[in-house]
Amino acid sequence: MSNKLVGVHRLLLLVVIAGTILIVSQCDLLLLTSEEENAEWIVFFNKTAGEVGGDRLDLKLAEQILSAEQTVDLCFYEIDSDTLIGAILVAHNSGTQVRLITDDAYLPEVQELLDASVPVLSDSAGNVYIYKDMHNKFAVFDGEWIWTGSYNATESGTFGNANNALLFRSEETAAAYTAEFQEMWGSTTATPNPTASRFHTGKEDNHLHTFELDGYPLELYMSPSDGTKEAIMAAIATADYSISFCIFSFTDDDISAAMEAQLEDVPGLTIQGVFDETQAGSQYSEIHKMETWGNRVEVRIDGVMDSTGAEKFLHHKYLLIDAGYDDSDPLVVTGSCNWSTNGFSYNDENTVISYHPEIVDLYSSEFDDQFAEGTAPE
């Protein structure tokens, strides 16, 4: 990461320009702690929707944007956060190369960036246009740090919905993310080339899938080109003790079939899942099947609320295998991809599988909280 004095200077500018950090005494919230600053990876959750115990994901992401020394590549389904719009403007105006890809439905939300000549491209460009989503939520900083997870860079994503983010350093993985970004961007330069860009089913599998993070295996898959569903099913097939997950949309029959098969093949295996309430009400939700699988399976409806008590989305898309069982191979799957036909076969998505035990433990602790707050389906 860059010199923190530069980061602090830019953050102070952000307070003046964006006016969204509210008061100067809150500026320290923008900065990573000294422990985080020296880490190879960090996990963030806004599980309590900005209340005590949760992370302000907009501030954490803004810190990364403003600390980058040379380049910031942002690939987000939607950006309407005033804090992040302000951070992008400050970085762009101070000479950092900023490139942004977003979904065509949300181009109006970044008009301020377009007016400031920040390079922006949407999925309406390219050799294939279908009415699907550029649904990614990732960023690459200085070709070294990656941000991924379920977080849309929005006010609702920050203050209402339950989300997670994984920030980690890996030049090799960053190169794979950059290759994906530039396939959509259509160019390796600061300026996009819409005629050469590829989105959705026009993309190719163009990068490595296996890496290391802090000495532990890490896998990366992009949708729809890289076989994300098959990678998740392969992860499920390794379960010896437990499968647990928090998911916004789960409508894919193959994923649930893989879970059911593992349940039948492994005596004593347990499955626990938390579904977003709005999506679980769909006739296509896999929750209805899972309710019939017997007493080793327990599914719940989320209890996510904002600080006013209003119901919000459980927006996570993570899966845990054998968390807490060191004699197995614990792993966590996270990223932007819902377990659906659109997520696997049409949308632009990214999915990470980490075998780092400490990362698994953090997601497992978050899952325990979400499961405890959930309720049985009616």
Burial of 308 (0-12, 13-18, 19+ CB in 10 A): exposed
145 has a pLDDT exceeding 60: yes
- Tokens of residue 257, six digits: 């079939």
Mean pLDDT, rounded, for 361-375: 95
What do you get for the CA distance between the two ends of the chain, in Å?
A: 49
Q: Where are the alpha helices (DSSP H) in the chain?
A: 4-18, 34-37, 57-67, 82-93, 111-115, 155-159, 171-185, 228-236, 253-265, 277-280, 287-290, 341-345, 357-373
Give percent of the chain with pLDDT exceeding 90. 81
Tell me what pLDDT residue 7 has. Answer: 43
Specify the 3-state DSSP secondary structure of 128: coil
Nearest-angstrom CA–CA distance, 275 and 371: 10
* Radius of gyration of the chain measured on its C-alpha atoms: 20
Question: In the predicted model, is pLDDT for residue 36 greater than 70?
Answer: no
What number of other Cβ atoms are within 10 A of residue 142's Cβ? 20
As a whole number of angstroms, the distance between CA 96 and CA 70 comes to 5
Reported as a pLDDT band with limits 50, 70 and 90, residue 30 is very low
Provide the pLDDT for residue 47: 56
pLDDT at 298: 98
Instruction: Determine the average pLDDT of the residues in 28-56.
Output: 66
Q: Indicate the SS3 state at residue 142.
A: coil
pLDDT at 376 (0 to 100): 94
Residue 87: predicted pLDDT:
97
What pLDDT score was predicted for residue 142?
A: 98
Is 60 exceeded by the pLDDT of residue 236? yes
CA of residue 352 relative to chain centroid, distance: 9
More confident residue, 36 or 364: 364
C-beta separation of 293 from 271 below 8 A: yes
Sheet strands side by side (includes 270-275): 210-213, 216-223, 349-354, 331-335, 317-321, 242-247, 270-275, 297-301
Residue 22 has a pLDDT of: 35
Confidence band of 25 (pLDDT split at 50, 70, 90): very low
Amino acid at 146: I
Q: Lowest mean pLDDT of 3-17, 32-46, 88-102, 182-196, name the range.
A: 3-17
- Predicted confidence band at 127 (pLDDT cuts at 50, 70, 90)? low
What are the C-alpha distances in Å from 344 to residues 12, 20, 174?
Answer: 41, 36, 22
Q: How many helices (H) and strands (E) does the chain have?
A: 13, 15
For residue 224, is the peptide bond before it cis, meaning its omega torsion is within 30 degrees of 0? yes
pLDDT for the residue numbered 40: 92
pTM of the model: 0.91
Taking all residues of the chain, what is their mean pLDDT, rounded to a whole number?
A: 89
Domains of the chain: 4-202 (3.30.870.10), 210-373 (3.30.870.10)
The pLDDT of 13-38, averaged and rounded, is: 46
pLDDT, residue 339, reads: 98
